Structure 1
Amino acid sequence: MLRREMLFGAALAATLPALGARPAAAQPKQAGWPRALTMGTAAPGGTYALYGPAWGQMAQEATGVAISYRTTQGPNQNILLVERKEVEIGMTTMGVALQAWEGKGDWTQGKKFREIRALFPMYDTPFHGIALKRSGITRFEQLAGKNIGVGPRGGTPGTYFPIIMDTLGYKPAAVRYGSGSDMAGQLQDGLLDAYLFASGVPVPSFSEAETQGEVTFLDFTEAEVAKLTAALPELSPGTISASTYRTAGRDLRVVGMFNFAIAHRSLGEDLVYAIVKAVMDNNAQLVQAIAAARETVPANAGKNGFLPFHPGAARYFREKGISLPDRLVAA
């Protein structure tokens, strides 16, 4: 799967201009639609960097609106950029979105971000980690006093893993931030004792790491899951199948949160409807590009219980028979 996703990314790179530049596209299919949109994605090594261009390409083909991609630190920065309309579309986990909507996360500085709207459900983000087998680390509690890497500072794992470790009472010696590929490299070089991450599975950088040496996958005990879900209600218990990674050897007990695509509320209703329809009606095509898209289906719209859907997205889901309360639809 990793090889297929890497090949897809390479194909996109070959057909699109440099990241951040707007690709040429045909005239938009409806008058009044913008000629181009920019999507906030994330740093290399995580799922957003692959998933974003996959659905963006589908949306571009369906609408005639050119979509370019801006590398970001992840959900936090995507929300900031969409709120400011520096990008029009992006992706986030719902835990980070809840912090933004309520203005309660430290990174929000008390500001409520109310310009963002939900587009469609993407996939669940399970929190788990890896350590080199030779380290002898097999449990999260052994990370007390150790050096851990948690991905980009503005991403979901960078935001939540420090909270998770604090909630469990496991104080690491140091928490380091960086791209997924950088974290994996630091682990192999012995600069990190563990690399903890959260994204769609399989995490590309985890899959790459297990091809470079023996690793141990880190998950949570039943008691840890109970403690985390009680303290952080945006987290839910889950399982990663043993077959997800080549060397996991067992099912992994995890906590996770769902991801959603988002947009600025000012985008036109018909354009958003066309984008959502293009993605949701062609799940098999999206899954061919990235395995995490197996969960990108209309039924998972219910995973959002607080962030208003864009009216164009709400129209699509209601046509599909998905019940959305009026409080979750806003202009």
Structure 2
Amino acid sequence: MKKRFIYFIILAIIFLTSCENENKSTVNASEESIEPLNTTIVGGRVGGSWSVFAEGIAESIRRENEGAIITVEPGGIVENPLKVATGLVPYGLSYAMTSYAAYTGEEPYDQPYKDIRAVSVVIPGNYYQFVVSEDVPYHSFEEMAQQQAPIRLAVDQKGTAGEIITRKVLQEYGISYEDILSWGGSVDYLSGSKTFEMMADNRIDATGDAVSAPSSDIIEASTIMNLKILPLSEEVIQGVSEELDMNRGTIDKSSYSFLQEDVETVSTPAILIAHKDASMEEVYQITEAIYENLDYLRTVHSEFKNLSMENMMNVGNVPLHPGAEKFYREKGMLP
């Protein structure tokens, strides 16, 4: 009887040991099957501020996910929504206005790209700034139209965000590019740096684009020439905001030494977008990484200083990715 009891004890020990080893094997196999986060974000041109923004987001993800491999590739504001929507890359940066234009098939896109989803705001404010030489004989768009001023206007390449906004703003005031030409003016498609060089040489009078406030290009230009920024009227702000999915914005007079008062305008945030098929868990992790690294991001670029827990989900009208939506809901940022 005693021997039989000892025999059962030995069998029980063997059984329990076997179960424990099996559980350990299962856990180890499960741990080995979890691969580090590995993805790509498309940002801006090499050396530009948007490449810095994208790298800041990438590093935030790496900090929260050990072993994560996040590749940053060059891109552009208009191109990035197409790259994401067509699956060339899973994530990208763009304006909220251009992302929504791609989603709905509005200019400059030729069809709707419904596979775009929003993740988070990256840079809360990019303000439309219509900069003119102090020497021009008008102080508002209304005066420009009344005088039929022969304005020498520089805009970015046709179909870019800045060019579209400029054209829509002028249209709201009843001004077309053709009108400007008929008044004896000109419309040139130039890059920002080239524009300010020509303004300094008195070959260009005005330019418009949606950029940060303050903008380093405008600050630099103001050191060698006298400038002013024309405000937008209430009606124009409302019209452009509705048509282009933009927001009301105010450029604080402290942004530039030449401003005497705040400038009312329109604004759009830069946002991180994702393909709709990006996994919910991965997008959740990325959203969480941005949320947890706001202090770090503020050390990467001054433009991150206005990004906060309160505004990171203000992405405009592009639908949120379910992974981001889950995170914001858990944090009480969504009902």
The TM-score by the shorter chain falls in which range?
0.7 to 0.9
User: Any conservation in 2 of the 1:152–1:180 contact (CA below 8 Å)?
Assistant: no
| Root mean square deviation, CA, Å | 2.9
What amino acid does structure 2 have at the position aligned with 1:180?
G
Partner secondary structure for residue 300 of structure 1: coil
Once residues 30 and 211 of structure 1 are traced to their aligned partners in structure 2, the CA distance between those partners, rounded to angstroms, is: 58
Once residues 270 and 41 of structure 1 are traced to their aligned partners in structure 2, the CA distance between those partners, rounded to angstroms, is: 26
Is residue 2:166 matched to residue 1:164? Answer: no
Count of aligned residue pairs for this structure pair: 290
Once residues 86 and 259 of structure 1 are traced to their aligned partners in structure 2, the CA distance between those partners, rounded to angstroms, is: 20
Unmatched 5+ stretches in structure 2: 1-31
Match of 1:39 in 2: 42
Q: CA deviation at 1:242?
A: 0.9
Q: Deviations over 1:170-222 (max 9, x none)?
A: 23334433433233333323332112111232222112212232211222234
From the superposition, tell whether residues 106 and 306 of structure 1 become closer, same or farther in structure 2 (CA, over 3 Å): closer
Match of 2:328 in 1: 317
Unmatched 5+ stretches in structure 1: 1-28, 325-331
Q: Deviations over 1:275-316 (max 9, x none)?
A: 222222222322233333234223225534532222221222
Match of 1:124 in 2: 125
Partner secondary structure for residue 265 of structure 2: strand
User: Any conservation in 1 of the 2:162–2:208 contact (CA below 8 Å)?
Assistant: yes
Q: CA deviation at 1:113?
A: 0.5
Q: 1:172-251 maps to which residues of 2 (within 5 A)?
A: 172-173=180-181, 174-229=186-241, 232=243, 234-251=245-262
User: Any conservation in 2 of the 1:33–1:271 contact (CA below 8 Å)?
Assistant: no
Partner secondary structure for residue 287 of structure 1: helix
Q: Scaled by the length of structure 1, what TM-score is found?
A: 0.76
User: Any conservation in 1 of the 2:43–2:73 contact (CA below 8 Å)?
Assistant: yes
Q: Deviations over 1:83-104 (max 9, x none)?
A: 122333222222222222222x
Match among 133, 151, 154 for residue 149 of structure 1: 154
From the superposition, tell whether residues 265 and 233 of structure 1 become closer, same or farther in structure 2 (CA, over 3 Å): closer
User: Any conservation in 2 of the 1:241–1:251 contact (CA below 8 Å)?
Assistant: yes
Once residues 248 and 146 of structure 1 are traced to their aligned partners in structure 2, the CA distance between those partners, rounded to angstroms, is: 21
Once residues 203 and 43 of structure 1 are traced to their aligned partners in structure 2, the CA distance between those partners, rounded to angstroms, is: 18
Q: Deviations over 1:252-286 (max 9, x none)?
A: 11122333211122323333222222222222322
Match among 258, 279, 282 for residue 290 of structure 2: 279
What amino acid does structure 2 have at the position aligned with 1:279?
I
Match of 2:102 in 1: 100
Once residues 257 and 227 of structure 1 are traced to their aligned partners in structure 2, the CA distance between those partners, rounded to angstroms, is: 14
Q: Deviations over 1:73-131 (max 9, x none)?
A: x2x2111111122333222222222222222x23222x111121101023122212212
From the superposition, tell whether residues 274 and 184 of structure 1 become closer, same or farther in structure 2 (CA, over 3 Å): farther
Once residues 47 and 55 of structure 2 are traced to their aligned partners in structure 1, the CA distance between those partners, rounded to angstroms, is: 12
User: Any conservation in 2 of the 1:126–1:200 contact (CA below 8 Å)?
Assistant: yes
Match of 2:60 in 1: 58
Q: 1:245-324 maps to which residues of 2 (within 5 A)?
A: 245-301=256-312, 303-304=314-315, 306-323=317-334
User: Any conservation in 1 of the 2:96–2:316 contact (CA below 8 Å)?
Assistant: no
Partner secondary structure for residue 249 of structure 1: coil
Once residues 93 and 163 of structure 2 are traced to their aligned partners in structure 1, the CA distance between those partners, rounded to angstroms, is: 16
Give % identity. 21
Once residues 287 and 43 of structure 1 are traced to their aligned partners in structure 2, the CA distance between those partners, rounded to angstroms, is: 21
User: Any conservation in 2 of the 1:131–1:137 contact (CA below 8 Å)?
Assistant: no
Is residue 2:91 matched to residue 1:80? Answer: no
Once residues 300 and 166 of structure 2 are traced to their aligned partners in structure 1, the CA distance between those partners, rounded to angstroms, is: 28
Rg bigger for which structure?
2
User: Any conservation in 2 of the 1:43–1:180 contact (CA below 8 Å)?
Assistant: no
From the superposition, tell whether residues 55 and 239 of structure 1 become closer, same or farther in structure 2 (CA, over 3 Å): same
User: Any conservation in 1 of the 2:232–2:264 contact (CA below 8 Å)?
Assistant: yes
Q: Deviations over 1:29-53 (max 9, x none)?
A: 99445644141325876x5344333
